[in-house]
Structure 1
Amino acid sequence: MNRLSRIFQPLTIKPRNAEILNLEGLSCSQKLMMNMGIIKPSNPGCYHLLPLGIRSIEKLTKLIELEMKTIDGQKIEMPLLTSAQLWQKTGRYQSVTSELFVVNDRHSKELIINPTNEESITDLISSVSPISHRQLPLRLYQITNKFRDEMKPRFGLLRSRQFLMKDLYSFDSNIDNAKHTYNEICQSYDRIFQKIGIDFLKVQASTGTIGGTSSHEYHFMSPIGEDQIIVCNKCKYACNQELIAVDQKICTKCGENDNFQILNGIEVGHTFLLGDRFSKPLDATYLSNEGKPKHLQMGCFGLGLSRILAATLEILSENDQLRWPRILSPYTLIIIGPKEGSKEQTKIQNLPEELYNTLNAVPTIHEDILIDDRNNMTIGKRLLEAKRVGYPFILVIGKKSLEDIPEFELHDLVNKTEHSFSESALIDFLLD
């Protein structure tokens, strides 16, 4: 039984003179996640992810891994450290040195704490090259922490120095097959974001320091987004503003003249069609059906899990209350029983625990229920706190539970409604 009293959730108690707190420069999601014990700061750009945050990330991870199975993605784990020599071979070391965390081992060998893994994965494939064309397409992914020396980390998990990322690398025999893989994986990313339920835009983007022939970004629209997205009002073609010349007035896709809107976006995913950008300098090859070694055609596909979590909360939350997509909420339903010593508590005894066990058999919320067993606190105080944390459903066992046919008060935070249900009607509602 998941009991709130046993969860490590250090809340920030708002002092009476709260106006003296300096909250300037903090995003809504950052303030709420810190105040409600989802994250706690460690040092600039780095955060402790606490139990409720971990549950949400685990749900997102499960969602992504189930989707990866549909496209034959194979999960691996690469080292956090990569030799700087590999980055020098691909020519990236000099161009991104300022963002790299670099360490030296006891033998004075220079190592990079990975912000991304193109060199590492290509070196892995190169070490077993040439692989057979029958093994292609090959799609390898990992979910791990990455590190980037951000000059100005800000907005909590939206721009941090340590972040959780899922990166997938594809290997194909030719550019046409690589394009097919690229489109298939992008469609998979579309499905992931559709399941999360936040409106998103897939936009044409710069290939930047990673390189390749084409690139797309996935964005959640938000006023605090640091990227400016240009959207053609006629054909809906969208691109990052960095691709548009300052004086450009015509849509490059449909030719519409001066009919754009500019939106702010939070980047939550990025995909690249790499070609042989990394396979050539690192000599990653496959053996063709003619028996000749040829350089592999690659793609890379990233999702920022910790950023997706923060971005969804940034978009959905209210000023003083977190709001989660139901699929990512740490718990879908929390049960609040009567206060200890009250008339209701004296008469119903173990009803909260019995109701917990009954509801836990409902498939849609199985193992996704939390009971607030801090019965020394009033129902009102616990209800207010549950609303601030943002559990999608809050079930209150109050005075109506004493009626001949007990009824329970259900607060639906997603739809901003309240219901009074008997046990059977409650189960029917949650099954819907």
Structure 2
Amino acid sequence: MVRASLTQHQAISARFSSTFRHRLSKTLVPTSKQKFVHVAGQEMVPSQQLLLRAGMMRQSSSGIYTIMPYGQRVLDKIEGIIDDELELLGCQKLSMPNLLTSENWKKTGRWETTGQEMFKLKDRKGADFLLAPTHEEEVTALIAKDVQSYRQLPVRVYQVGRKYRDELRARSGLLRGKEFLMKDLYTFDVSVDEALKTYDEVVVSYKKILNRIGVPFAVAEADTGNIGGTHSHEFHILSRVGEDSLLSCQSCGYTSNEERAVGVIPSAHTKASTKFKNTAMVPKWIESLDLVPRSAVRVNPKMQFGLMKTPATENHPSGTCTLVAVAATGDREVNDIKLVKAIGSVNLVDSLEEIKPLLGEQDKVDDFLLCVDQSLYPGQEGPDTRGKTVDLKGPLPEELSFLVRSSSPSLKVVYGDYHNCKPGDGCPHCIKDKSADSNGRFEPMETTRAIEIGHTFLLGTKYSSSMDATFVPANSGDPEPFQMGCYGLGITRLLASIVEASHDHKGIVWPESVAPFRVVIVTSEDEGCATAAEKVYDTVQKALARKAEVIIDDRIDITLGFKMKDAELIGYPWMVVVGKGYLRTGKVEVQHRKTGEKWALEWPELDGFFGARRL
């Protein structure tokens, strides 16, 4: 037993001694020269291709991947940066289960509303469980049990763990999978003001995290979606293959997700809007009511229809149905999110024919609601947004009469912003800027493609109220619900996004802060070069003053050229080449992956060169 212990102790000591060196001959990095292009009939995005070719991940099944050792090293470094920054905010790390009971989700209503993306299952006793797509309910129940007083607040806890979503079309590798790694932070405060301060602190911390990683990013105003809350921002890595479109102002920096963006439409109508023609009777009938503007340039409104249903009441035992019509210019798309926020839940369709199945056999339309989009108003002023009710005169069009319950239904008209913004729309902040050096100006916004990797939400009491998670306030009054925030950051998605934003025709170009190794030493099989490479390793590792940042490509029966191409594919920030030229000149070649710069350095110069480049 003693001999075994000594042997183990010696092995551990050797692990951290100068005699231990990371070697590619002992590392599982199955690189491939194969051109991965398609999978399941879909074209692969660059990150998917490169992470497979560089041996950093392997597919287990659709939307599910094994992260290989080099990929795991990148994830560990990303997580280390996150840990550093969140610790400065007083955040504490924990680990919550991934298999969750349905009980808390039923309390908040999300068991029914989350939809088919949720993995639901039953245990052998028939109890409902789910694989966690997120942890708001779980953490709220946890804190409610152990935090009862304002003196214990604020509480800031986070975890890095796996999440599960049953994506209908898992695609793009780690960018949209069924299983993924995420950092989620949850905060609990005593008041709205304190929660807002926390929110701002976390947003600043996120910016520090992404700056340390070293990739271009943007912060955009966003919709709260299914998570809920009152305040929300998205964090994006800028990339040409991004699924999201951001609109931003180069003058003031305003940036918003396209689904939430507010913009000023140029006063001159586009050709697409003036050439749009309606052929349906109903749009012409609506136009005849003089509820949409007749500008100098004739613009026919494009119409979309929808149906709103309300529960049964004493006056309407079967409930009421409101037929919704949305009028916008021909060059604008209706924004479902803006519309729902303005009028409530509505199912939109493209024609009246599609309304019939939504009504059901017994239902009839009770009222009309016309939403007139401000795109129809040059200059954006428009009428009173509070709306008005119009008395309908004359017979209804035939297309409507058979849908309607009453012979004289009411028509309510509401004016507002129901459209998607477009590049070229004016910045809403610059147009309203009436400061001394600006009297308001039209600044056209530009569009950028991006990948969402983080989302922050100010939840308020959405979860704490529904789950009775309260604390005793300072005045010892009635218990109050926690003011909550949640802050997500997709770790595996960030890994792929970095590759999307930083690669070239040779392979990946890792930022130094998260590269699996910062320096690779490649050498020919010549014994003199191999011996020199061992000493180069020790010199560079010591100069960098951090463990496990250097690796030797000591694989045999592989040419120096092959090793160099492999290094470029993997994307090490620095490559030191110890070739036969070293035997002639005593110099090694240092190459910088990102810029392509090269230096021929003598042995004594290596220490100062890499010492000056410590992170």
Could you tell me the TM-score, scaled by structure 2's length?
0.66
Per-residue deviation, 1:155? 1.1
Per-residue deviation, 1:24? 4.7
Instruction: Check the 8 A contact 2:24/2:551 in 1, yes or no.
Output: yes
Residue 431, structure 1, aligned to residue 592, structure 2 = no
Q: How much is the aligned-residue C-alpha RMSD, in angstroms?
A: 1.9
The one-letter amino acid of 2:514's match is L
Residue 5, structure 1, aligned to residue 22, structure 2 = no
Per-residue deviation, 1:22? 8.4
- The sequence identity of aligned pairs, in percent, is 35
Instruction: Check the 8 A contact 2:236/2:452 in 1, yes or no.
Output: yes
The 5-angstrom pairing of residues 233-248 of structure 1 reads 233-244=250-261, 245-246=418-419
The 5-angstrom pairing of residues 15-414 of structure 1 reads 24-130=42-148, 132-244=149-261, 245-246=418-419, 249-255=425-431, 257=442, 259-292=444-477, 293-339=479-525, 345-348=526-529, 350-403=531-584, 406-414=586-594
Instruction: Check the 8 A contact 1:167/1:300 in 2, yes or no.
Output: yes
Deviations 1:377-399 (A, max 9, x none): 11111111111111111111112
Per-residue deviation, 1:284? 1.1
**C-alpha distance in structure 2 between counterparts of 1:346 and 1:77, whole Å:** 50
My pick for the range that moved more, 20-29 or 161-170, is 20-29
Deviations 1:138-180 (A, max 9, x none): 1000001111111111111111111110000000000000000
Per-residue deviation, 1:20? 9.9
The one-letter amino acid of 1:260's match is M
Unaligned runs of 5+ in 2: 1-20, 262-417, 432-440
**C-alpha distance in structure 2 between counterparts of 1:282 and 1:180, whole Å:** 24
Deviations 1:116-138 (A, max 9, x none): 100000010122242x2122111
**C-alpha distance in structure 2 between counterparts of 1:312 and 1:21, whole Å:** 21
Deviations 1:73-129 (A, max 9, x none): 000100102211211111212221211011111111111111110000001012224
Deviations 1:12-62 (A, max 9, x none): 3438xx999988520011001111111111111111100000001001111
Per-residue deviation, 1:268? 0.8
**C-alpha distance in structure 1 between counterparts of 2:138 and 2:544, whole Å:** 41
Per-residue deviation, 1:197? 1.2
Instruction: Check the 8 A contact 2:529/2:578 in 1, yes or no.
Output: no
Spell out structure 1 runs of 4+ moving beyond 3 A. Answer: 18-24, 247-252, 346-349, 363-366
The one-letter amino acid of 2:520's match is I
Per-residue deviation, 1:424? 2.0
The one-letter amino acid of 2:129's match is L
**C-alpha distance in structure 1 between counterparts of 2:22 and 2:536, whole Å:** 13
Instruction: From the superposition, tell whether residues 65 and 281 of structure 1 become closer, same or farther in structure 2 (CA, over 3 Å).
Output: same
Instruction: Check the 8 A contact 1:272/1:300 in 2, yes or no.
Output: yes
Instruction: From the superposition, tell whether residues 122 and 393 of structure 1 become closer, same or farther in structure 2 (CA, over 3 Å).
Output: same
**C-alpha distance in structure 2 between counterparts of 1:59 and 1:349, whole Å:** 29
Could you tell me the TM-score, scaled by structure 1's length?
0.93
Per-residue deviation, 1:190? 0.6
Unaligned runs of 5+ in 1: 340-344
SS at match of 2:463: coil
The one-letter amino acid of 1:431's match is G
**C-alpha distance in structure 2 between counterparts of 1:396 and 1:247, whole Å:** 53
Instruction: Check the 8 A contact 2:249/2:444 in 1, yes or no.
Output: yes
The one-letter amino acid of 1:408's match is V
**C-alpha distance in structure 1 between counterparts of 2:80 and 2:137, whole Å:** 27
Instruction: Check the 8 A contact 1:76/1:140 in 2, yes or no.
Output: yes
The one-letter amino acid of 1:2's match is H
Per-residue deviation, 1:349? 5.5
Bigger radius of gyration = 2
Instruction: Check the 8 A contact 1:359/1:365 in 2, yes or no.
Output: no
Matched pairs, number: 423
**C-alpha distance in structure 1 between counterparts of 2:40 and 2:118, whole Å:** 31
What is aligned with 1:342? none
**C-alpha distance in structure 1 between counterparts of 2:251 and 2:129, whole Å:** 49
**C-alpha distance in structure 2 between counterparts of 1:42 and 1:346, whole Å:** 41
**C-alpha distance in structure 1 between counterparts of 2:186 and 2:38, whole Å:** 48
